Chains A and B, each alone.
Chain A
């Protein structure tokens, strides 16, 4: 015990000594590094803070451009308008649906192929892996894929967002690498000797041991589902199936606001509200992701790194 403590102390002293030894040039250089990082921090934070602050300002303050950094005339009017819009509520509900079921389907299918591919005794694993990786290098393209989805009868159904993009090859590689390095072969052999089948072993031994990788996969797929709009744009026609992102697109980018004949004052009010609504919508739609982000970024990093080692 004492020995270790002494060693630690010695190390600390050494570190301190090293820090003192730093030359003037090094210190100036380090100063520049801190300045550079502070600059980056400001550049990244400013737009985010600006959007959030605008969303909490009054309609007039936003449309007359008074907001610079902090909310002006604090109000939650933008949120009230956003949350009373049936289109947005439907979109939110749909997105939750797609994210929840899409993630379950994707994770299940990914594990179903990644686990067998991780076993050395699984004959044909290299051919299957090559078969998957090839799809990363070459694909049929937009229209040929669209024709398949159409032939499957999935056009304008919820399936179109759940199935055609269900498995990511990258995610399969990550999961396979995890299984290879974390599930010892001896464990599987012992289970086999005891008469435990592969599926039961997967369910009651591998999965409980693989919670971290399941979390990584679920997060990757969930965030993809929540954020994507392209599949919905090409496969869906009925507005009541639209995910939130597609509704955001029509409100935020295409600027579709219903306007009939009305007097100038209401017009102006509407215009102001429409401006404010955009900021609140951005916050509302990014909220779920940004709330879980601090807790999950660690897992995400892990995922990238596992993939990178073998990728």
Chain B
């Protein structure tokens, strides 16, 4: 299941002819594939310029960056920017908002695609099944801007259809987006609406790959549909589900900027300000490059550590992780 593992044999020639042969191998390869080495130069330059130089640029988190002296010329200030962030009262709010938003998204967003895939797997191939798949998959292609606009229109206190429906039951209209308590529900459930069908695809493929003899055995044993789901389908989904869970828990602090930023307004900011939106505002709107970089770096490091921890943990209990 690993990206790197698949190639390992190529890197490990028989130990007896280790080093010199490695060198010869390289020379032969350069000679034989010089055209391909030229071909990979532009993409590699891309990765160096747009992915690795930014990583080295992140040193400004430890500096007092100013445009005149540039990235390397600006004075070092040690952990001043980090201290400023940690001692800022906004620190804990940001951490909590980011963490709870993400946790909520996982708790809801992880099981629903699995349930959808299991349900789709039970029904007969045909028009209805195709329609359900097609329709549940479609919202994935809607852009974030349009998605948020739809949310705002549907939830609008003035003419949103939701408030009109509530009005029928005599409930006075609610300003959903102006109330911080609703922010997480809106964010998470609209996400489920948009991505459940897309996420189910991968589970459907895993279900299709389950050994058919298991189903036959279940049938012989007189298993009901429910028992078959619990005893054959679910165990068959465990490897796929594990990977997806590792990835989402590992990325728990990396909530995307795009949707939260658009759903924000001054009224719900107490729950909707997350690390990525704060980085944008401090960095690009207030032009405090060093502080914003420090916050971003702090976030990336936490993320990486979390991902490694979760992966290690899962590996220990189930024997298979991401790598």
A183 adjacent to chain B (CB < 8 Å): no
A109→B42 contact, CB < 8 A: yes
Given contacts A33-B119, A139-B54, contact A290 B293 (CB under 8 A): no
Q: Which of the candidate stretches B84-92, B101-109, B146-154 sits at the interface with the other chain?
A: B146-154
Tell me, rounded to whole Å, the shortest Cβ–Cβ distance linking B155 to chain A.
11
Known: A45-B135, A119-B36, A249-B262. A124 touches B26 (CB 8 A): yes
Bound together, the chains give a CA A305 to CA B292 distance in angstroms of 37
Q: Which of B179-187, B230-238, B277-285, B313-321 lies at the binding interface?
A: B277-285
Q: Tell me the number of A-to-B contacts counted with CB atoms below 8 Å.
A: 276
- In the assembled complex, A214 has its CB within 8 A of some CB on chain B: no
By a CB distance below 8 angstroms, the chain B residues around A129 are 3-4, 7
- Among the listed A36, A131, A164, A253, which residue makes an inter-chain contact with B149, where contact means beta carbons less than 8 Å apart? A253
Within the assembled complex, what's the spacing in Å between the Cα atoms of A47 and B34? 55
What's the minimum C-beta distance from B15 to chain A, rounded to whole angstroms? Answer: 17
Residues of B within 8 A of A64 (CB): 159
Partner of B36, one of A23, A63, A115, A304: A115
Is B30 in contact with A123, judged by CB distance below 8 angstroms?
A: yes
Nearest CB of chain B from residue A310's CB, rounded to whole Å: 6
Q: Which of chain A's residues has its CB closest to B45's CB?
A: A109
Whether B94 is near chain A, meaning CB under 8 Å from some CB there, is no
Residues of A within 8 A of B (CB-CB), count: 102
Please encode chain A, from 161 to 199, with 1 for each CB lying within 8 Å of some chain B CB and 0 for all others: 001101100000100000000000000000010000111
B50 at the interface (CB under 8 A from A): yes
Q: Does A2 contact B (CB under 8 A)?
A: no
Instruction: Indicate whether A101 reaches chain B with its CB closer than 8 angstroms.
Output: no
A85 at interface, CB cutoff 8 A? no
Most buried by B among A30, A119, A145: A145
Q: Which residues of B contact A30 (CB under 8 A)?
A: 122-123, 225
Contact residues in A for B202 (Cβ distance below 8 Å): 304-305, 308
Within A105-133, the residues touching B (CB, 8 Å) are 109-110, 112-113, 115-117, 119-126, 128-133
The answer to whether B274 has its CB under 8 Å from any CB of chain A is no
Q: Note all chain B residues with C-beta closer than 8 A to A229.
A: 143-145, 258
Q: Which of B56, B123, B205 contacts A37 (CB 8 A)?
A: B123
**Bound form: Cα–Cα A222–B257 in Å:** 21
Residues on B with beta carbons closer than 8 Å to the beta carbon of A123: 25-26, 28-30, 33
CB nearest to A308 among chain B residues:
B202
Cβ-neighbour of B161 out of A68, A226, A289 (below 8 A): A68
Taking a contact as CB atoms under 8 Å apart, the answer to whether B205 and A252 are in contact is: no
List the A side residues contacting B49 at CB < 8 Å: 148, 152
A221: Cβ under 8 A from any B Cβ: no
B148 touches A125 (CB 8 A): no
Taking the nearest CB of chain B, how far is it from the CB of A246, in angstroms?
A: 8
A152 / chain B contacts, CB cutoff of 8 Å: 49
Which residues of A46-87 have CB atoms within 8 Å of chain B's CB atoms? 47-48, 50-51, 62-65, 67-68
Q: Is B46 an interface residue (CB 8 A)?
A: yes
Question: At the interface, yes or no: B138 with Cβ under 8 Å from chain A?
Answer: yes
On whether the beta carbons of B159 and A62 are closer than 8 Å, the reply is: yes
Tell me whether A41 and B262 are in contact (CB under 8 A). no
CA of A305 to CA of B202, assembled, Å: 7
Stretch at the interface among A3-11, A262-270, A278-286: A278-286
- With A23-B224, A125-B7 known as contacts, the answer to whether A139 contacts B55 (CB < 8 A) is yes
Q: Are B280 and A142 neighbours in the complex by a CB distance under 8 Å?
A: yes
> How far apart are the CA atoms of A124 and B34 in the complex, in Å?
13
Which residues of chain A in 128-150 are interfacial with respect to chain B, using CB atoms and an 8 Å cutoff?
128-133, 135, 137-149
Q: Does B171 make an interface contact (CB < 8 A)? A: no
Given contacts A115-B36, A119-B36, contact A26 B258 (CB under 8 A): no
Sorted nearest first, the 9 A-B pairs with minimum C-beta distance are A140-B54, A141-B296, A123-B29, A144-B57, A227-B143, A113-B43, A252-B149, A144-B54, A116-B36
16 further contact pairs, Cβ within 8 A, besides A116-B36, A167-B47, A290-B141? A64-B159, A123-B30, A126-B10, A130-B4, A135-B51, A138-B304, A141-B279, A141-B293, A143-B279, A143-B292, A148-B54, A167-B43, A167-B46, A199-B39, A248-B145, A286-B142
Please list the residues of chain B having a beta carbon within 8 angstroms of any beta carbon in chain A: 1, 3-4, 6-8, 10-11, 25-26, 28-30, 32-33, 35-37, 39-40, 42-44, 46-47, 49-58, 60, 71, 116, 119-120, 122-123, 128, 131-132, 134-139, 141-146, 148-150, 152-154, 159, 161, 164, 193, 197-198, 201-202, 205, 219, 224-226, 240, 243, 257-258, 262, 276, 279-280, 283-284, 289, 292-293, 296-297, 299-300, 304, 307
